[in-house]
Amino acid sequence: MKICCMFAGQGAQTPGMGRDFAEADAEVMALYDRANAILGFDLKKLCFEGPAEELTKSNICQPAIFVTSYAAFLSLKKRKGVTFDCAAGLSLGEWGALCAAGVLDFESTLKVLEARGRFMQEACELTPSGMIAIVGATPEQLAALCEATGCTVANVNSAAQQVLSGSKDQIAAAAAKAKELGIKRAIPLATAGAFHSPFMAPAREKLAKVLESIEFKAPTMPVLSNITAKPHSSDPAEIKAMMLEQVTGTTNWAADVEAAKALGCDTFVEFGPGKVLSGLVKKIDPALNVTNVADLASLDATLAVL
């Protein structure tokens, strides 16, 4: 068995996340207390109790999902000495994967994600923009849709599902044009703005300044890049460059899964709230073993699989 550990992205947040891990383990509870001290606000309370509308704010949900995902990761590692063969994550989840591989420490990852979320939220507020999920489009249809509307591909989740980013007008045009092109479904998403697109250029510029003071190390296991779908290099400067590119570039989760398979991985374990990545992996290749660790019950189920 070769195992890829996966870390959830934005949108997976839910009130109550991480609470049972923390109540069952003083070390995990201390992790949330450390997060509170680092961030200067009560992230623990927001994770455990909500409200949901606060958790959806990018500067809160990004560190909240990371801490909860890392808590799930530590909970499994403490219960069973699992060795992972590679790590991957979607968007902010890629930062969790880098932390799990020792590229950044917990405190640095938390600081980066609070800043990243804040900068992305600020970029959203500069220009009205959004995202739209495209389901069942052929490559030709997708290309025609982008050319006709000016939208760009933000996420490649699977062969059958992509997400486009654009201005509010471009997203509205894409919804109409998709019907005209005979695309199966086009679903506007309730996001704050056009993530993973040129609209995030101001966030990328600000994040670059933050990363100047953050120490990166060589990964202890392969970490798959959302941008290249290849393992990050051992050069910290190159990893930083790729993570800045990720703010404005296309994330290709489908290619990351194929890259993990090429490394020999046949088992995928998702850490953090929800099962979004688990569902996508199953769609990409139903033959793969997929499990998740979101709470104590799913931890026990995953331990039984491993």
DSSP output for 199-215: GGHHHHHHHHHHHTTS-
Cα–Cα distance list, 248 to 152, 164, 210, 243, 282 (Å): 10, 12, 16, 10, 27
List, in order, residues 6 or more apart from 150 with CB less than 8 Å away.
166, 167, 170, 173
Find, among 235, 214, 238, 251, the residue nearest to 109 by Cα. 214
Active site residues: 91, 196
Cis amide leading into 198 (omega within 30): no
Beta bridge partners of 185: 135
For 297, the token pair is 């019950």
Beta sheet of 86-89, edge-to-edge order: 86-89, 3-7, 267-271, 289-293
Alpha-carbon distances of 17 from 14, 65, 222, rounded to whole Å: 6, 8, 28
Alpha carbon distances (Å) from 269 to 12, 84, 219, 274: 15, 10, 19, 12
Q: Which of 255, 201, 264, 284 is nearest to 88 (CA)?
A: 255
Read off φ and ψ for residue 35, nearest 5 degrees.
-60, -45
**Residue 128 corresponds to which amino acid?**
P
